[in-house]
Chains A and B, each alone.
Chain A
Amino acid sequence: MARKIMFKDAINEAMRLEMERDESVFLIGLDVAGGAGTATLDKERDSWGGVLGVSKGLYPLFPDRVIDAPISESAYIGAAVGASACGMRAIGELMFSDFMGVCFDQLYNQAAKFRYMFGGTAVTPVTIRTMIGAGFSAAAQHSQSPYSMFAHVPGLKCIIPSNPYDAKGLLAASIQDDDPCVFFEHKALYTMKGEVPEEHYVIPLGKANVVREGNDVTIVALGRMVQFAEKAAKKLAKDGIECTIIDPRTISPMDWDAIYSSVEKTGRLVVVDESYDVCGVASDVVGHVTQDVFGALKAAPQMVTAPFVPTPFAANLEAAYLPDPAKIEAAVRKTIQAKCAATVA
């Protein structure tokens, strides 16, 4: 059995291994070493290793390639893009995905479009790592999961790991990938432990993971929502309702084959996303499934998402805001009870 490590350590390990393998890989972000300009920073030790310690220990190993940036997201995320367009393979850490607004042009008009605009000649192998997720009383500007805004842009790849094993393999794949990748790390998963091999490995981008197999309902769940879906599925299994859980792992590219073939088997679909159902991943999955495998559906697909409001601060409101196993269970039961108009008629 492989050793168990935390999600954040898996991310750290993936960065370390890629930096060891490839000298063009570097990390730039706020306080990714920490203590820059103070007496505490020396080449023997970093001070913080990132605000939550995700890059701890990397600075002493790669003092020239772990770079603290001024609080200038537009400039340093843009520089990660620019350096990557010039032969480097940058990892830009955007501390919270909520800060995307400060630097978005560099990603959606620049990194995403170079290759197409330049007639297929440009290669921009940048990886942006960024935190997502509510559940910490961090309120409306530090709790969002805005990945659908990135996934909406042709030219960007969007990766959302749900466990330590995937985090390591998907981050390695993202860093090695020649396209701009945005890698979303749910802060509630950082301390999640799981089996992670010590050696280097990659998980291909665009391949979903079938977390659990069952014949009655297909649940598509993202990031932290995978755990919630598993809880709901276990409970439902006691009542004889067997769920397949599909973790797409990347939402751009999306593994439609995996989702379609499961829905063709089960005829029922529930999509669970911590973000909104307005122009989001959940509505996107439901839309594609409805368009492409409509004939297989035995019931109307259901979406379990956050309501269309900013993330509230108060604990009781935030709990009501977030999807949870009970909401997923209820949605699954609804698909079991409902009859699809198409089959009734």
Chain B
Amino acid sequence: MKTQLSKEDLLKAYRKMREIREFEDRLHKEFATGTVPGFVHLYSGEEAVATGVCEHLNDLDRIASTHRGHGHCIAKGVDIMGMMAEIYGKKTGTCGGKGGSMHIADLDKGMLGANGIVGAGPPLIAGAALASKLRKDGSVGVVFFGDGASNQGTNFESMNMAVTLDLPMIFVLENNGYAESTSPNYSAKVGTGNIADRARGFGMPAVTVDGNDFFAVYEAAGEAIERARKGGGPTYIECKTMRYFGHFEGDAQTYRPKNEVKEARVNDCPLNRFVAAVTSEGLVDAAELEAIDKDVLALVEKSVQEAKAAPQPDLADLMTGVYVSY
């Protein structure tokens, strides 16, 4: 394996992936105790996608996320303590408890929000990219969306517009094999099996990569983002990956083969693959990674304890923040 990443970069990327995994696995456990409110969609298993892309981005670059947004938030640098408090609906949350899991946003970090509407992201990021182009600030827009969302008209229209206006925009398709219970084999029948081939038809470069391989995602994203920053227009990256939990917490997953996740966790886990790659080449010591694991465990533990103990929003907050002025 060849990588230009420094040891520091590798450790940083690993920390992000571990944070996402720990955050999501912990939420899965907490949800089972009945203490987590609302609809919760977890990102475990897909860590390499958000991390491999966001490691190239800075706070001026904008991303739009999905209902399965925690991983994108963490990868983009949103504060974990605030995120956990938001998911618990607390005043100390990223959005003051008004948004919850599906609407975590941090505009200062260029994170335009998780989103409850499937397919809402592409036009928004076309707009972010258009703003960047008009301002000439060199920033890019990245939209994450699923295989299900790839069927939304907004996606097709945005692909066409990104090409038409030559926008600095990256489409990142997280093809995890399911949209709720529906397979893309049924709902996104692209002859080759690669949904990215649709994008080629619109006239933009498109690649399909192993989304559980951090380095493959990192490389494809790096190329696309560099091209976009230089005025080379949009790119479409399809990342093949897998979600480890149900569509939402509480999903009995009757549509899924029994061993699918079990086997993937053993053979194709993005974190394990990262660890194997960097340690086998002596790029990083296993001990350093273990130290990160411990750190992250403590951080997530603290985030849950503090979120649980935090106050609810004030009742007066109900009526604030609808308009700037009214």
Which B residues lie within 8 Å of A102 (CB)?
A: 117, 119, 152-154
Q: CB distance A72 to B255 under 8 Å?
A: no
Q: Pick the residue among A35, A47, A51, A309 that contacts B318 (CB under 8 A).
A: A309
> Does B164 sit at the interface, judged by CB under 8 A?
no
Tell me the smallest distance from the CB of B112 to a CB of chain A, in Å. Answer: 14
Question: What 0/1 readout, one digit per residue, does chain A (308-322) give for beta carbons within 8 Å of chain B?
Answer: 111011111100110
Interface of B, helix, strand, loop or mixed by DSSP: loop
Identify which of residues 81-130 in chain B touch chain A, using a CB-to-CB cut-off of 8 Å.
Answer: 89-91, 95, 97-100, 102-103, 115-119
The number of chain B residues touching the other chain, given as a range, is 35 or more
Q: Which of A37-45, A226-234, A236-244 contacts B (4 or more CB under 8 A)?
A: A37-45
Q: CB distance A313 to B257 under 8 Å?
A: no
Which A residues lie within 8 Å of B184 (CB)?
A: 37
Q: CB distance A48 to B255 under 8 Å?
A: yes
> Does A215 sit at the interface, judged by CB under 8 A?
no
Identify which of residues 306-345 in chain A touch chain B, using a CB-to-CB cut-off of 8 Å.
Answer: 307-310, 312-317, 320-321
Q: CB distance B119 to A36 under 8 Å?
A: no
Q: CB distance A316 to B315 under 8 Å?
A: yes
Kindly report which residue of chain A lies nearest to residue B187, judged by CB atoms.
A70
Q: CB distance A38 to B181 under 8 Å?
A: yes
> Does B77 sit at the interface, judged by CB under 8 A?
no
> Does A17 sit at the interface, judged by CB under 8 A?
no
Which A residues lie within 8 Å of B152 (CB)?
A: 71-73, 102
Kindly report which residue of chain A lies nearest to residue B317, judged by CB atoms.
A317
Summed over the interface, the residue pairs from A and B with CB atoms below 8 Å come to a total of 154
Q: CB distance A34 to B116 under 8 Å?
A: no
Which B residues lie within 8 Å of A308 (CB)?
A: 322
Q: CB distance B187 to A47 under 8 Å?
A: no
Which B residues lie within 8 Å of A75 (CB)?
A: 153
> Does A116 sit at the interface, judged by CB under 8 A?
no
| Docked CA distance A92–B37 (Å) | 30
The number of chain A residues touching the other chain, given as a range, is 35 or more
Q: CB distance B254 to A40 under 8 Å?
A: yes
Which A residues lie within 8 Å of B319 (CB)?
A: 307, 309
Q: Which of A7-15, A139-147, A286-294 contacts B (4 or more CB under 8 A)?
A: A139-147
> Does B39 sit at the interface, judged by CB under 8 A?
yes
Q: Pick the residue among A47, A98, A136 that contacts B38 (CB under 8 A).
A: A136
> Does B188 sit at the interface, judged by CB under 8 A?
yes
Question: What 0/1 readout, one digit per residue, does chain A (69-83) give for beta carbons within 8 Å of chain B?
Answer: 111111100000000
Given contacts A51-B180, A141-B103, A320-B315, contact A98 B257 (CB under 8 A): no
Q: CB distance A140 to B318 under 8 Å?
A: no
Given contacts A30-B180, A139-B103, contact A35 B255 (CB under 8 A): yes
Which B residues lie within 8 Å of A320 (CB)?
A: 315, 318
| Docked CA distance A312–B154 (Å) | 26
* CB pairs A–B below 8 angstroms (6 shown): A102-B154, A139-B116, A313-B95, A313-B103, A316-B312, A321-B318
> Which A residues fall within an 8 A CB radius of B?
30-31, 34-41, 47-48, 51, 68-75, 98-99, 101-102, 136-142, 307-310, 312-317, 320-321
